[in-house]
Amino acid sequence: MGVGTDSTKELSFHRLQIEDSGPGYMHFHDGLELEFFQQLTSEKRVARYHRGRRKYEWKKTRNRNEVLDMTVYNCAALAILEPDLGTLVDRLQKG
């Protein structure tokens, strides 16, 4: 089973553009440093052509991209575990 790296990166970059709290919005701790966000956005999707066909790939824009990789693997773990997030939220709200 693959992780779906390309799709997950596309989803993450799309979610980073959501400005208002709600579905898909990414929340971050106030104490995170600039390096975290630079690593999170350390790649860009570029088109290349092979035998006349367009293909997309992700190219690093910085040397370090561990936070982006961590985001991809966290999404994969969430998909594998399939937690009932509604129940978890209810339990947290009830204490």
Distances (CA, A) of 89 to 29, 81, 92, 94: 19, 16, 5, 9
Q: Which residues on neighbouring strands pair with residue 58, listed in sequence order?
A: 45
Q: What average pLDDT does the segment 42-57 reach?
A: 95
pTM, entire model? 0.81
| Residue range 51-91, pLDDT digits in tens | 999 999 999 999 999 999 999 999 999 989 999 989 999 99
Task: Say what the pLDDT of residue 95 is.
Answer: 81
